[in-house]
């Protein structure tokens, strides 16, 4: 029996209680007013195993925007549609030690986005999504994910309105610099697409189903693309804390400021958490505490 499948709700319950003792160490992302309407004590986990077994616990009915977690899947989508050579002509795979919305990092890299998991890389890739405008691009992307993963994602219009109301000046500056460097075809379309895909929302089960796409061989995704995405998640998915958690947890992971966190256990399945308070880097505090406890107990690290 695989390690994830041995889990019981009793075990999960103990780890969730441990994680929830840490929520006060975090705070809401203050830039988007609607994110602050969440209850800081909410915590949900859903685990999808290769066998088809599912294990859920906590506030699983909560719907939240994927925010930066979507960057993993826009990378996967474009790799499948356009291929690695094209994609990595636009963005690199180097980890960044600067915050995810750093203009200074982009300037020091002469306008070439360091990786697809920070905003400069994700905005560049948003500019390249198939579709004539931001609405169509978001719709096609969302449909592709739902069809492939069997999830029920949708665009959260209210969250999008909140994002637009307080549009990030850092993202606008990044987009302008990318355009000057010749990386964007249309600044407005790129930003609009980026904001829309970040507001694709679902429940923790939907996030686990997305993660499951990356966990093992399947007939509908290229094995090479899965490996690429997992590698970039491991080295860049938790921003400047990625290396620390590669050592402490040893799983490909991606977080978002909406409180979502997904961890891939190659060959076994995916672990998704939702917990809305964040650490100073922008990663969900309780989600990381939970995944670390689970990974250490079950010895899930990909490094053996």
Give the separation between CA 242 and CA 245, rounded to whole angstroms.
5
**Whole-angstrom Cα distance, residue 148 to residue 129?**
17
| Interval 169-218: pLDDT, tens | 999 999 999 999 999 999 999 999 999 999 999 999 999 999 999 999 99
Distance separating alpha carbons of residues 278 and 104, to the nearest angstrom: 23
Burial class (CB in 10 A: 0-12, 13-18, 19+), 281: middle
What pLDDT score was predicted for residue 30? 80
Q: Tell me which residue of 249, 250, 73, 101 sits closest to 178, measured CA to CA.
A: 101
pLDDT of residue 1: 79
Residue 35 is given by DSSP the state G
Could you tell me whether strands 54-58 and 253-255 are parallel, antiparallel, or unpaired per DSSP bridges? unpaired
Gap between the Cα atoms of 79 and 255, Å rounded: 20
47 close to 271: Cβ distance less than 8 angstroms: yes
Tell me the pLDDT tens digit for each residue of 122-157.
999 999 999 999 999 999 999 999 999 999 999 999
pLDDT of res. 23: 85
Q: What is the pLDDT of residue 89?
A: 97
Give the pLDDT score at 24. Answer: 84
Task: Check residue 45 and give its pLDDT.
Answer: 97
Q: What does the alpha-carbon distance between residue 247 and residue 231 come to, in Å, rounded to a whole number? A: 14
Could you tell me the pTM of the whole model?
0.97
CA distances from 157 to 63, 71, 195, 262 (A): 13, 19, 11, 23
Q: What is the CA radius of gyration of the chain?
A: 18
269-274: strand order across its sheet: 54-58, 44-49, 269-274, 260-265, 253-255
What is the full per-residue pLDDT of the chain (304 aa) written as tens digits? 789 998 888 888 999 999 999 888 999 888 899 999 999 999 999 999 999 999 999 999 999 999 999 999 999 999 999 999 999 999 999 999 999 999 999 999 999 999 999 999 999 999 999 999 999 999 999 999 999 999 999 999 999 999 999 899 999 999 999 999 999 999 999 999 999 999 999 999 999 999 999 999 999 999 999 999 999 999 999 999 999 999 999 999 999 999 999 999 999 999 999 999 999 999 999 999 999 999 999 999 999 8
Where helices occur in 45-91 by DSSP H, the ranges are: 70-82, 84-90
Q: Measured between alpha carbons, how far is 66 from 127 in angstroms, rounded to an integer? A: 19
């Amino acid at each position: 029996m695989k390690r994830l499948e041995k889990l019981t709700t009793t075990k999960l319950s103990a780890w969730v209680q441990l994680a929830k003792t840490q929520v006060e160490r975090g705070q809401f992302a203050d830039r988007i007013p609607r994110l602050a309407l969440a209850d800081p004590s909410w915590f949900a986990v859903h685990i999808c195993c290769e066998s088809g077994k599912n294990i859920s616990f906590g506030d699983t009915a909560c719907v939240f925007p994927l925010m930066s977690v979507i960057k993993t899947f826009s990378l996967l989508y474009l790799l499948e549609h356009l291929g690695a050579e094209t994609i990595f002509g636009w963005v690199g795979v180097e980890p960044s030690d600067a915050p995810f919305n750093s203009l200074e990092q982009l300037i020091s890299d002469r306008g070439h986005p360091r990786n697809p998991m920070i905003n400069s890389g994700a905005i560049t890739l948003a500019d390249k999504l198939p579709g004539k405008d931001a609405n169509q691009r978001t719709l096609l992307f969302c449909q592709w994910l739902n069809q492939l993963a069997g999830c029920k994602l949708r665009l959260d219009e209210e969250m999008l309105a909140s994002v637009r109301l307080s549009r990030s000046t850092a993202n606008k500056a990044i987009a302008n610099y990318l355009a000057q460097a010749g990386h964007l075809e249309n600044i407005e379309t790129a930003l609009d697409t980026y904001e829309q895909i970040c507001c694709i929302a679902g429940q923790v089960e939907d996030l686990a189903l997305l993660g499951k796409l990356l966990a093992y061989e399947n007939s509908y995704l290229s094995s090479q693309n899965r490996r690429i995405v997992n590698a970039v998640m491991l080295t860049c998915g938790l921003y400047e804390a990625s290396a620390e958690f590669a050592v402490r947890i040893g799983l490909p992971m991606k977080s978002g400021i909406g409180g979502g966190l997904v961890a891939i256990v190659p060959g076994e399945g995916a672990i998704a958490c939702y917990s809305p308070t964040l650490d100073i880097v922008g990663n969900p505090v309780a989600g990381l505490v939970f995944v670390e406890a689970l990974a250490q107990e079950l010895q899930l690290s990909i490094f053996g």
